Amino acid sequence: MMIFFVFEGYLLPIKIERRDTYMRRLVPVFILLLLAPALGELLLGDIPFSFQLIPIFLLDMALYGAGAILIRETVRRRDLGWTGILLLGTAYGLAEEGLATQSLFNPHFPGVELGTYGSLFGVNWVWSLYVLGLHIIWSISIPILLTELLFFNQRKDTWLRLPGMCITGFIYIFSLVIVAIMYVNLTNFSASLMLICCTLLLIIGIILLTLRLHVLPADTLLNRNIRGVPSKWTIGIISFFAGAIFFGVHEIFPSVFMIPASVPVLIDLVLFVVVILLSRCWLSQHNQWKDSHSLAFVSGSILNTLLFGFFVAAGNTMNVIFHAILCVITIGLLVIFNWKLHKRNIYYKNVEMESNITID
């Protein structure tokens, strides 16, 4: 009996500790699994309010969520920084839109119908820049950033071990195949073998380049043009208007065919370059960039999806009502998170001040 109690006394804390550690890593994975399809599809109005909402969202969790998790874990394991996330996000977008749905090549893709506008060498360039930017920022980067803001003590940790990575990879590949089969049957379109092979080679090339890339940390960059980081309100406003231009170009220009397709393409490219350069400059001020700035950037970007989601949901009263409810819930959660983050900053500031007090 004595041996039993001693054995149980040592095992119980170990089991509890292991369970707590497991749950500590599992919760952020589950949140990212939800956020990726929510920000990339649901809040943009791409999932209609119907009996198919739940199965579609579950499939998107397997595709978007698993993809975001794989990218986040790979980048954190190899210390590739946000450059790695953006590059792997590009590979993700190419895999989904080039191999699975093939929207990059289909001139009559459901809901787009661009025809020959912006098409060259069999590629829909206007749509390609939009949908790839959408995946890179809203489907991958923002969900990862928001999840790491929520679990700030674990942002540098890896959340999955090798078996978890293998399971997640299997789920992602399986969902990619399912989506490919669904869209071939839905659209009766199949891109040429040349386009598929080029897309596949481009994806592999981006992945290999990212894994071999020596990423220079942002805090090692020279401070030449930016004297300081703008306020969080300025960051939020810039983020909102940059996103508004991005979504506006897609919503307005495809319907105005008298304007050359090179115009929206050029606007998108300039916008991408400006945002990347500003972000790198601001992040180089590593002692001034705070989590509140990151949350402001996230909030401005998410507000764009909420706004333009009404354009997507327009024409169906139930979809508009459903999207309005999602908007209220999302804005409420952002306000609460901002309040919690403010309290967290005050707490750590007070702790830091107390730690600097010396006793004579």
Q: In the predicted model, is pLDDT for residue 262 greater than 90?
A: no
Contact 338, 299 (CB under 8 A): yes
Q: Is residue 279 within 8 Å of residue 159, measured between CB atoms? A: no
Residue-by-residue DSSP string for 231-242: PHHHHHHHHHHH
Residue 279 burial (CB count, 10 A): 17
* Mean pLDDT, residues 252-276 taken together: 77
Judged against a pLDDT cut of 50, whether residue 332 lies above it is answered with yes
Confidence of residue 228 (pLDDT cuts 50, 70, 90): confident
- The alpha-carbon radius of gyration of the chain (Å, integer) is 23
Lowest mean pLDDT among 56-65, 82-91, 108-117, 240-249: 108-117
**Rounded to a whole number, what is the distance in angstroms from the first to the last CA of the chain?**
54
In the predicted model, is pLDDT for residue 355 greater than 70?
no
CA distance 60 to 179: 9
Range name among 161-175, 178-192, 248-262, 323-337 with the lowest pLDDT average = 248-262
Q: Which residues pair with 124 in a beta bridge?
A: 119
Name the more confident of 79 and 195: 195
Predicted pLDDT of residue 306: 92
| pLDDT, average across residues 232-259 | 81
The span from the CA of 183 to the CA of 191, in Å, is 12
Whole-number Å distance between alpha carbons of 230 and 293: 9
Instruction: Report pLDDT for 334.
Output: 92
pLDDT of residue 252: 65
Contact 71, 94 (CB under 8 A): no
For 173-195, b/e burial (b = at least 16 CB within 10 A) is: eebbeebbeebeeeeeeebeeeb
Contact 106, 31 (CB under 8 A): no
pTM for this prediction:
0.86
Distances (CA, A) of 258 to 60, 75, 125, 246, 254: 36, 43, 17, 20, 10
User: Which tens digits make up the pLDDT trace of 78-132?
Assistant: 888 888 999 999 999 999 999 999 999 988 888 776 667 778 888 988 889 999 9
Model confidence at 180, pLDDT cuts 50, 70, 90, reads very high
Mean pLDDT lowest for which of 148-162, 182-196, 204-218, 235-249?
204-218
pLDDT tens, position by position, 285-308: 556 788 888 999 999 999 999 998
User: What's the mean per-residue pLDDT of the chain?
Assistant: 83
Domain locations along the chain: 2-355
249 φ, ψ to 5°? Answer: -60, -40
Q: Which residues have C-beta within 8 Å of that of residue 70, sequence separation ≥ 6? A: 165, 168, 169, 172
Inform me whether the pLDDT recorded for 16 exceeds 60.
no
C-alpha 44/C-alpha 101 separation (Å) is 18
pLDDT score recorded for residue 56: 92
Round to whole Å and give the CA distance between 13 and 333. 35
Q: Is 210 exposed, middle or buried (0-12, 13-18, 19+ CB in 10 A)?
A: buried
Distance CA 143, CA 284 (A): 22
Closest CA to 281 of 226, 217, 220: 226
What pLDDT score does 3 carry?
38
